[in-house]
Amino acid sequence: MNKAGTQTIETERLILRRFTIDDAEDMYDNWTSHSAVNKFLTWPLHPNVDFTRSLLEGWVARYEDGDYFNWAIKLKENGSVIGNISAVEINEKIEAAEIGYCMCEDYWGRGLMPEALKAVMDYLFDVVGLNRVGARHDVHNEKSGRVMDKVGMKREGILRDAAKNNQGIHDIEWHSMVRRERNVSGELSLKLEDVEWPFTFTDHDRNIARGIVFDDAGNFYFVRAERDDDFGRATLIETAGGGVEPGEELGAAIKRELKEELGAEVEVICKIGVVSDYYNLIHRHNINNYFLCRAVSFGEKHLMPDEIEDFHLSTLKLSYDEAMAEYELRRETSIGRLIANREMPILKRAHEIISGLEQKNA
């Protein structure tokens, strides 16, 4: 599980973002004081905006946790925060989440809640790497069930007298989607924030070619970097790759970079996708183009002086599980968390592609 935390997600009509204390009035005015909203939910109506503000203080304090996922639903057309969607329970052992949501009744019937739920499900599958995303509702709250249906969740069944809400003890109906049921095709496209350092401005973009390199024995190849600079002192795992030179094609760039950093001659299998992320500390926007590459042979590396003297680059040869564990281990530093958030989803997708190729060729 990639503990990427609550990051901003943008859809056609919505911005899903972290709550701030300043959202208290919108939250109170739009749903926490509305009996129509909390009818089938478990929390009591808020008596005043100060009660809402106090709740938000606790929520905002939890955003430092990478396994806390709680979004404010902001409507683009008027800038108002109109609802909330969150992972109310996470089960790391089986890589699963339960989603809960609510929205001001003035905006019901416009397809906004399915739009938010679909975006959060995609984030939890693609970025966090979960295997199952589920939700449940009071059987009398059919509108909530239709939201789950619209995003492709399957109805699993009814548990009798299994929960209690503001209407009392009631039957609940479970819906879910598991990873293998998703209709996913084409390249992965992710947009991530830098939540480690505050954003001030961006003054340059860097187009980068990166490779997930594997061999026929099931090994993956990465670079290990040891750095002590403005980002802090850190030992890191990262995919091999680097900046695309002016006028250079991506296909040529990835082969050049893998030859330089790993000494690897490779066969490019496919493009996995693009991850857009930021290094706020140096005001940089990274456009990371990831390719799945099979190692053909290994020879001499051609490292740059800074890669030797400043980053002390070396090669890591790991199994898939070992690599995921190494990324998790290196979350101990801010730069390690940024890299893990970006690369763990890509490595997971690469593993799925390789498994698919093996099944096809079996």
Mean pLDDT of 153-176: 96
Q: Which of 111-125, 299-313, 320-334 has the weakest average pLDDT?
A: 299-313
**Residue 153 pLDDT:** 96
Q: What are φ and ψ of residue 291, in 5° steps?
A: -125, 145
- Calculate what percentage of the chain has a pLDDT beyond 90: 93
Please say if the pLDDT value at position 55 is more than 90: yes
**Residue 218 pLDDT:** 94
**Residue 359 pLDDT:** 81
Q: What are φ and ψ of residue 347, in 5° steps?
A: -65, -40
| C-alpha span between 130 and 180 (Å, rounded) | 11
Please say if the pLDDT value at position 215 is more than 90: yes
pLDDT, mean over the chain? 95
| C-alpha span between 39 and 30 (Å, rounded) | 14
Please say if the pLDDT value at position 169 is more than 90: yes
Q: Tell me the DSSP string of 144-177.
A: HHHHHHHTTPEEEEEEEEEEEETTEEEEEEEEEE
| C-alpha span between 342 and 330 (Å, rounded) | 13
Indicate the burial class of 317 (C-beta count within 10 angstroms; 0-12, 13-18, 19 or more). middle
**Residue 184 pLDDT:** 67
**Residue 185 pLDDT:** 67
**Residue 264 pLDDT:** 96
Token pair 């699963």 is found at 96
- Structure confidence by residue, pLDDT tens digits, 94-104: 999 999 999 99
Query: Domains (ranges, CATH) in the chain?
Result: 9-181 (3.40.630.30), 188-361 (3.90.79.10)
Mean pLDDT of 237-249: 96
| C-alpha span between 153 and 178 (Å, rounded) | 9
Closest by CA position to 139, among listed 160, 118, 154, 153: 160
23-39 b/e (C-beta count within 10 Å ≥ 16 → b): bbebbbbbbbbbeebbe
**Amino acid, single-letter form, for residue 203:** D
Neighbours of 268 (CB within 10 A): 15
> Cα torsion at 176, 178, 180, 183 (round to 10°)?
50
Whether the CB-CB separation of 157 and 172 falls below 8 Å is answered with: no
Mean pLDDT of 51-66: 96
Please say if the pLDDT value at position 183 is more than 90: no
Q: How confident is the model at residue 109 (pLDDT cuts 50, 70, 90)?
A: very high
**Residue 309 pLDDT:** 80
**Residue 124 pLDDT:** 97
Q: Provide the terminal-to-terminal Cα distance of the chain, rounded to the nearest Å.
A: 29
Mean pLDDT of 16-38: 97
| C-alpha span between 83 and 102 (Å, rounded) | 6
- Structure confidence by residue, pLDDT tens digits, 307-341: 888 788 999 999 999 999 999 999 999 999 999 99
Distance of CA 339 to the CA centre of its chain: 12
Please say if the pLDDT value at position 72 is more than 90: yes
More confident residue, 358 or 155: 155
Please say if the pLDDT value at position 346 is more than 80: yes
Please say if the pLDDT value at position 303 is more than 90: no
